Amino acid sequence: MATKEEFELIEKRMEAWNEKIGRTRMDGIVLNKEEMLKHIKAKDEVGEEITEVQLYYLRKLKERR
């Protein structure tokens, strides 16, 4: 499970996203930016999945340096 700090990091990252970029498919569910932020702030199951995917991306990006 993501830490409080990780949720906060991803929340800030999502807030900075362009509205048009904020689409994702998870188990057939399409979420816009605001819906994703709501799940991240609630720290529910969907928010956890979004956070884990974003953290994975950031870790891989860091490895490329």
Considering the entire predicted model, what is its pTM?
0.85
Is 40 buried (19+), middle (13-18) or exposed (0-12) by CB count in 10 A?
buried
CA distance from start to end of the chain: 26
Whole-number Å distance between alpha carbons of 56 and 60: 6
What 3-state class would DSSP assign to 65? coil
pLDDT in tens, the chain (65 residues): 899 999 999 999 999 988 777 676 767 788 889 999 999 999 999 999 999 999 999 999 999 87
